[in-house]
């Protein structure tokens, strides 16, 4: 399934490697996890009540809609967390 977003600009930033649900993914330095996930996938997570697709809502850290887990168990907002080299995030969604 194709990603939700396609990067149109700012392609000259340094590449960053990370994993999303154990699958290698690529982002650019300065991207948020939300950007990294949606440029590699169709959605950020599944709704905990009906498993419907979620892709973030407010995009500024206020709505609680983009929570994901780091492999160490830490829960973070994808819209306000910046990617780092080697970062591993778990959304709970199969690619």
In a domain, 5, yes or no: no
Q: How many domains does the chain have?
A: 1
- pTM of the predicted structure, to 2 decimals: 0.84
Supply the pLDDT for residue 95.
Answer: 55
- 18 phi and psi, to 5 degrees? -150, 175
Supply the pLDDT for residue 7.
Answer: 77
Q: What is the 3-state secondary structure (H, E, C) of the chain?
A: CCCCCCCCCCCCCCEEEEEECCEEEEEECCCEHHHHHHCCCCCCEECCCCCCEECCCCCCCCCCCCEEEECCCCEEECCCCECCCCCEEECCCCC
Supply the pLDDT for residue 79.
Answer: 92
Residues of the chain predicted below pLDDT 50? none
| Residue pLDDT, tens place only, 29-41 | 999 999 999 999 8
Supply the pLDDT for residue 2.
Answer: 67
| Residue pLDDT, tens place only, 84-93 | 999 999 987 7
Residue ranges making up the domain that contains 30: 15-90
In a domain, 33, yes or no: yes
In a domain, 37, yes or no: yes
In a domain, 22, yes or no: yes
CATH, residue 56:
3.10.20.740
């Amino acid at each position: 399934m194709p990603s939700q977003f396609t990067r149109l600009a700012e392609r000259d930033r340094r590449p960053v490697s990370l994993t999303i649900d154990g699958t290698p993914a690529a982002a650019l330095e300065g991207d948020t996890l939300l950007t990294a996930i949606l440029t590699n996938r169709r959605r950020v997570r599944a709704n905990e009540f009906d498993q419907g697709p979620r892709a973030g809502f407010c995009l500024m850290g206020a709505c609680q809609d983009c929570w994901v887990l780091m492999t160490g168990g830490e829960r973070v907002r994808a819209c306000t967390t910046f990617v780092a080299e080697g970062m591993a995030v778990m959304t709970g969604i199969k690619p």
